[in-house]
Structure 1
Amino acid sequence: MRKNYLLCVFGVFLCLPGYAQSPAETYKDSTTYLARAAGKALDDYDFNRSIEQSLLLIDLASKKEDFNKLNHGYNLLGITYEMLEDSIRAKENYLKALEYARLSSNDTLLWYAYNNLGNVYSSNKNTVHKGFEYYRKAIAIASKNPDEPQVLIPVVNIAWTLLENDEFDSAYPYLKRAEGLLKDEEDVVTRSNLNTLYGMYYSGMEDYDRSRTYFEKGIAIAEKDSLIVEASFAYEEFADMLFKSKDYNAAYVALDKHQEYREKIFSREKNLQREAVYERFQTKVYKKDLEAARREQLYKDEVLKKTQQLSAIMVISLVVMFFFLILLFRNNRIRKRLIGQLRDKNVELKEAKEEAERLSNLKTRFFSTVSHELRTPLYGVVGLASLLLEENKDENQSDDLKSLKFSADYLLALINDVLQMNKMESNLVHLENVTFNIHELFQGILKSFEINRNQKDIKMELQIDPEIPYLVGDSMRLSQIMMNLVGNAVKFTERGRVWIKAENLKCRENYCRIRFEVGDTGIGIPPNKQEEIFEEFSQLKNQNLNYQGTGLGLPIVKKLLKLFNSEIEVSSVEGEGSVFTFEIEFLQGAEAESIKHLSSSPIENEPRLIRKILIVDDNRINQLVTQRILEKRDFKCLLAASGEEALDIIKLEQLDIVLMDVNMPGMNGMETTMKIREFDAHLPVIALTAVEVGEMREEILKAGMNDIINKPYDIPQFFNTIFRNLLQTVTPTAV
């Protein structure tokens, strides 16, 4: 919805003059202050304060049934959520604003409501036609008074929508009309955006020189007047034009400037505060409903008491039968009314439940999107850092590169912790049963802490009962538990000893109960803190910054163990160390059933062969990283940026394997694979995805893909998966 930022803010200023008076009444003073405060906060991109002040304005105006103020409050809320790209909440608030605009019979309010609804619907390609209908309604109302500049805004919005949908010829007349309507030299906001729109138009017409001129004008105006949103939009479209004209360096610089301005508008802390404000408002509404239900129940109890009294009177004397019948008739009417009210409340409760489920699904989709969007750039960072470590021979830079890779790995672990916690809260984590070798699994865990062990002078010990057989269970979740516990032990031990133990307690009826222990000789945990450490975001207070973290590791361990029907126990002495223990019962497995490719080491002694591999990825950086990694192993790489391009190459080239990105615009990886299987059932296709594997495993394999590699990946596991799939096909000729 980026096209509407400026025009929404302009609309706020159109509404504010109606509240410029200073009446003596307290109510008018309060609503005027709240409206101005919300508008000022929106102008300063302080979205949290804007939401808070708008909600207060709505609450105050609803008590007086003041349609104008209610319209203003919901418009401000809609604008704020639209700028925050929350189209669902924006539409809800704009529809409420339209309702109160109609009740107030005010053309200015109606014009503004129609324009804002046009903004929301035109941002979705499936509802663009409805957006145009609202824009035309706004133009019809604004045209009644030709002296007002209100016609300009919907005209610009129509041009903007057409440009975003690549309808350049249709957009040009609206651009010319908007240019003719823009007479106010001080309206730098609209002037900046109009220049940017002209830049988009000439870019679409492939007149890049003229396009560059307009983009530079728009950027100059925005930066001169500190217009953050306008500058962000201009730089983003400018970067797109430069990329189309193959000026990649300049495109990168423009995209970097776009991101810089965008970060000024949004911040994680403000988003969290905003949700807190919205939740407080929702809680207040729920409390009101709860109080109404309580009063209703009291009233029902009173009616029931009266009914019992009437029954007693009927038994005692038939003399009062006439009066009893009258009272009974009255009671039935009351009960019918109460039943009707209860039915209405049940409908409201159902709607509230559906809304809560919608919000829960929205949160789940948000985290899923965040998972992909954060892991995709991390793939480039981790991959490039690994390559530089291998290729760089300068010892002076080696430490810096190791620090870079360590930071990227730490960031990835942090992201995984947050997403893992969300998945468990949403009951999306389920255990899988695979056969695994606990010796190999724990050796891999120890190896992953090799760098930390050397840096902190820690002796790490692994003691595994030789009587433990191959086990059947969720080795990935067990690995997560052990990684978190060992990571904590290493973090809180400066020098000393960290150990891992696995003991076979008993095996009977094909089940084995294994006792696990992770201990250290670190700083220990005070007795009064040993329960608190398993709470989310809880940490021991310590001045040593080396001990900082998210506070999610142990809560994740506790929740994962609950899936195994197990509980964790801790024993610790402050200053001497800590020991964590738990027990899990596994099904006993046969060695022949073991999944050998679970090992994190690549297949050794592979022949040096020339293999032809196709990399399908819409991200250019990810393509280059993957290509450089493969070429170091003598792979000949072909590149494709879309599913359509990949299909053309596969039909022409004799390939050994395909690495397929799952999430691509247009035809995604799964759709492309299904097309491949129509004419080639044997070509190995491996999915590359930044989404949590568990979320899409069945869907990916059902599409015909042979295996999955999660991004960002470590190089040994990456080649291990590729070689395993190559060995299942005809081996290429050695060169």
Structure 2
Amino acid sequence: MAAYSFSKNVQQQPKPTLKAQLDSIFKVTDANNYVAAIDLIGQLIKDSEQQQNFTYLFHGYNLLSVSHANLRDTVQSLNYSKKALHYAQMSKNDTLISWAYNNLAADLSAHKESQAQALEYYKKSLHIQQRLNDGEFNDAALNLAELYHKMGDYKLMREYLEEAQKSYDPAYIYFDNPLIHLEILWGDYYVSQNVKYRALESYNKAYELIEEKKIDYLALDFYERYAQFLREQNYPDRAYEVQKRFMEYYKNQENLKAQETYQLAQAKFEAAEAKRERNQAKLQQEILDNDLQRKKTQSILLASIIVLMVLFLVYLFYSERLRLGLIKNLKFQNANLEKAKIRAEKSERAKTRFFSTLSHEMRTPLYGVTGMITIFENNPELKKYKDEISSLRFSADHLLEIINDLLDISKLEDDSFKLVKKSFNIKLLVEDVINSFDRNRLRNAQCTLTCDIDRNVPNYVVGDARRIKQVLLNIIGNAIKFTPKGEVCLRLTVKHLESGKHQVRFEVQDNGIGIPKEKQEAIFDEFSQLEELQLREAKGTGLGLPIVRKLLEKMGADIEVESEPGKGSTFSFELLLEEATLLQVTNTNSKKAPIPPKELPADFKGLRFLVVDDNKINRMVTNRILSNFKAEVQEASNGKEAIELVKNQDYDLILMDINMPGLNGYQTTQIIRDFELDVPIIALTASVENYVTRRALESGMNDVISKPFNTEKFFKTIHEQMARRSRAMH
């Protein structure tokens, strides 16, 4: 749990941000002004609800729980802990959820009747901490060990002590060093197992650490029973030393405040006595009559005052200790969380750069492979190897699919990812999806693919057709992969809403091998491979379903799975779609009106091409493809060589690589454009990021072709640029 504070604004000022409100609450709670803190937390919760910010709603209710706990209002504290957990789950922030479970369990563990529920929440918190694996100490495991110790279950106590011990990092900066708590609990465990020498070792280590750090509240909690243990083990000198240190800590914490309070009470008493003596002559008779009663009353009053003062001091001591501990713990946790956030952001940027670099480095040699395959396919002398070449083509295309999956994962984690919403025919899209699965693949799997569309599903809707198609292809492909013999059915139903929108439900049902319930969430983890489910022919990258979930999250939906081993699986999701208007449909169809195909030239005879690429194999492949169509091809291995060739010779078209040593493709093109404006320059690159196309056009290139390319698209792009140049010259 955590304690926060807040400062008041006296003058009318612009409303502070949620973060500023949260920081201000720390200041109020630092001053023990919990009543004022509760008012300010209420404003934070109100503003967070208006902004639908679940993270700050969690912090608000968590602060309310802590404030009421400090005011000894345990019922309200428990209620607000439950609300904090609710909003932590809404935020989908695993760290906040782990905190919320841990704090709620701490509230519940204080009562014997709710300890079973506390165990469940501690375990949920620990599960999240283990999954995050962010280097922090698994305090939930330590709490579980302590609770099992209270319950007398020493076997489970040891199990969770070992789990907590594994997560302890001596190099990590902790508030309230968990090693001390570990050693104390290990000592308690060994006492329960009657292994006294091991208990003595752990207790001694805990004592040394407490003395080293001068942690007073741990000394007050631990030293008395440690001294008792030492006496039982016949270490009287050591026991005396520990008991003496306990008393020193106790006196240092208690006596100063107790003495000040007692002196104040004594001074007030003496003042009252002096006043009584000054009026003694006048009131002597009355005093004699009431002396006995007055003395009894005064004695009772004084005793009551002293008892109340002592109780008040005890309350102040423990509340102050709790408050300071919570504040320090929160500050350390915030510092560690900030470090973890920075590490995560660096890791995410590094991963994105890695995927981008990996894609380029894999596409470059893959272009050489696919290019040679294209040459082999067009060579009549190699027709007898048609099946072998076809197998090579399949393997190369499969490798390209894997590279594209890696890029999709990287792009989906980028905030710049945007959906493109246009009108489309949803029934034609489904038909296109079904037809994209070739009959050979289905026949090899001995699987049938069917489709069932509710007649009430509208024809035209508005959405990102490309991404919906990608989702369906991944889910159906996965279903076919794990249905070696059987049927896969795509089913669409619709529910019309009062808002005029349509809630379209997509279901992909198969009767394949199925997935155990405990494994159903793991299939959505990146690179997940459930080995016990894998068929020999059903291997993959494990990226299909993670891509599906991330795409659906971008669309405001989620995927659900129902499955039973041996009986099959059903994957489903629902999309809220608007029905397209007639104008939207007309505009879409007009944009997609077919353009009459232009005949590609039978050959490039009489045309001169320049291929610029630092990779020798890639130059050879491009040269061979163009030469097969009778083009005259020259090569340049770098930008400087390409510039000299263009200065001294005329070319009809230049194919330019981007990533080259020395002058890259952009720089080379800019220099060529200074003296040659007409020749078409097409980027031929393994990079597929959006910024590549933008920079290519800005540098003076006319178009971009990604390697490895589709041969038809390659020649079509060349033809379009040649035709454009021809029109410009006339």
Highest CA radius of gyration, 1 or 2? 2
- Please give the TM-score of this superposition, normalised by the length of structure 2: 0.48
Given the two structures, how large is their TM-score scaled by the length of structure 1?
A: 0.48
